[in-house]
A = this chain, B = another copy of it.
Amino acid sequence: MTRNDGRKPDELRKVTITLDYIKHAEGSCLIEFGDTKVICTASVEEKVPPFLKGTGQGWITAEYSMLPRATAQRTVREAAKGKLTGRTQEIQRLIGRSLRCAVDLTALGEITIWIDCDVIQADGGTRTASITGAFVALYRALEKIEKLSAVKNFVAAVSVGVVNGQVLLDLNYEEDSLAEVDMNIVMTDKGEFAEIQGTAEGETFSRDILNTMLNLGEKGIKELIEIQKSVLGVKS
């Protein structure tokens, strides 16, 4: 079976990372997974949240948003509604946790790194593109403030899913809206998991399907980390 955009089941979309996309930010990039485009910035603030004051430890936190017309139908701005949706908060927390797995927070000193992922065009996989791009922005910011030694490992993310009974890597919007199962995997360059979120959309899934999805995800993340390293000039 071919996919709606001609890819093979285990093939990523074309991934492009434009480094240093926003001049003011300590670290930034524009990341593209096919037609999904996200601006990722990392901003350094010289203080920590109250629960970390005096511990010598740093913090990484993330915010995520979509431009109203990133999507096929215009969506209402959360600022206009006056509150964040549950989906946004879930994604923000996921991005933050994923990146905190990549860095030794005690080696940062008492600073906070704010990650902002703003989706300017959406075509599926906005959260996995955000994590993958956010790591690049974070790495760049740590390079700038000379804290690269705090990086424990690279982190990237990809989606896998079951569409018409077939396991596919890196779903685009059309595939995602047809998927029976949707899974997001966040992994390090050492092949360890930072996060696994598998969700049945009505139909539940077996342990076998789970294993196939994990295999496919692992393959995709290896390729994404290759691209991250190449863009950042890091030897594999």
Where the two chains meet, the residues of A that have a C-beta atom closer than 8 Å to any C-beta of B are 22-25, 28, 35, 39, 41, 43, 45, 63, 65, 67-72, 74, 77-90, 92-93, 97, 100-101, 105, 114, 116, 118, 120-121, 153, 183, 187-188, 190-200, 202-207, 210, 214
Contacts and interface: CB of A to CB of B under 8 A. Distances in A.
A69 B25 contact: yes
B205 A200 contact: no
A24 B63 contact: no
A64 to B, nearest CB: 10
Contacts of A63: 68, 77, 80
A78 to B, nearest CB: 4
A210 B213 CA distance: 14
Contacts of A203: 101
Contacts of A194: 200, 204
Nearest to A121: B22
Contacts of A192: 200, 204-206
B79 A202 contact: no
Contacts of A84: 79-80, 86
Nearest to A81: B79
A43 B77 CA distance: 14
Nearest to A184: B197
A130 B202 CA distance: 19
